[in-house]
Structure 1
Amino acid sequence: MLPAAVTAAFDGTLVVLGRLRQRAIVRTTGETSGLTTAMVLLHLHAHASALAGAKIVCQLVLLFGSARAARRLPRLHVTKPILVEDMAFSRQIVGNRLVVFLASYSGTLVVGSFLGIAQYRRHCFGAAGRAGTIVELGISSRSAQARWPMPLY
């Protein structure tokens, strides 16, 4: 996620500076490198890992290409008070998203841990999927009752 955010910042810098041709070249190069990586890894039987590897390669090419095209590097000057304030601000957001993530994937994780990956994949549209939904509903109703307190300012 961090490379994508920094890439978006460099991308915006290229748009503001009017370097749309360079931006298009970086985008085309990044997508082409991702596609090429996916094809090579799929040819080597990497399966789902091929798609993850292709996405990582694409993001890195976009990041370094847009940084080079913008000819600027970000100045990171983070002081301790800023870091403490950022951590306090993001603590509740990250906690809330973690609860939602665990609640939404809990059924899949529980059923997958009992059945194993191969059996879960074969039965994911059958009883395993329904059992996962039941577990997920039970946990999501509990997580709805235990919401993170949000202070009103």
Structure 2
Amino acid sequence: MKMDKGVKRAGIILGGAVAVSIIIIAIFSLSVARERFPADHLIVEGTYLLKTGETNNSVNVTCIPYLTNIWKKESGEIKVVVYVIETANNIADYRSVVEVGKIGAETTKEIEIPLKVSKDTYRIEMLIFENDKLVLKGRVSLSVYPIYRYINNEKIWMPGA
């Protein structure tokens, strides 16, 4: 079977056109995927610690970060993981996970993360994930010292004093 030169040439041109089209589509798909979630579209505007209760041994704190999606599209699924790490031994004493969900376009969301710490100095490490990918990491320091009063030469802890 002898192939006509014109048919062979048309086949090569068609094959080349298909290959170029596939490459263009792949490049376009990658650029659209990258545009979907730009690397810097989530920002922590501020983080606050609110004391919600205390006992002789511990303090209940709500860690409240304000997370802003500055992009013009809704974010992916957001999850925040917080570790309370005792600074003396660098070991996490407590872990909390909060499923936030999606954050609307150009919106700030207040996230409440309940924590429990004992009387010591801590750092609170916060990891923020979008669609199971770590996108932000931050830390807050916290010192919790008991207040003592002496009554009849006896050292007594005075919560809330």
Same fold (TM over 0.5): no
Q: Which has the higher contact order (CA 8 A, sep 6+)?
A: 1
Q: Going by fraction, where is helix more abundant, 1 or 2?
A: 1
Q: Going by fraction, where is strand more abundant, 1 or 2?
A: 2
Larger radius of gyration: 2
Question: TM-score normalised by the shorter chain: which range applies?
Answer: under 0.3
